[in-house]
Structure 1
């Protein structure tokens, strides 16, 4: 192998590695995805919040004072 072929092969290898590095920088994703743990924490159930109730309607007052209502904000 001649000295010129050795330099050409080294230049080709450096050029190939450079193109690969530029490709990784452009796309910005690693070759292998980062391993992360997916953990779910199950909290104890609150019986008062999950209990079924007989009435599904809201208990609204029969009337209210109009003077307490604030006007809608203007844009």
Structure 2
């Protein structure tokens, strides 16, 4: 059985939230070497901001599950 891609995404997002740093944490999400999205976590507001690299649209989430599902969909295209 293959490892869950969704679990890997949630693990990365959770690590951002659990960081001891008060600074915004940023992670890039790629598929086949192509950057699909960038996520920033702001610990002061407890929000994730996803920027889709192709369209440069930004989406804000205050729920880790919703952010993970959106990233999963972005990587699944």
TM-score normalised over the length of structure 2:
0.25
Between structures 1 and 2, the one with greater helix share: 1
Larger radius of gyration: 1
Greater RCO structure (CA 8 Å; 6+ sep): 2
Between structures 1 and 2, the one with greater strand share: 2
TM-score normalised over the length of structure 1:
0.25
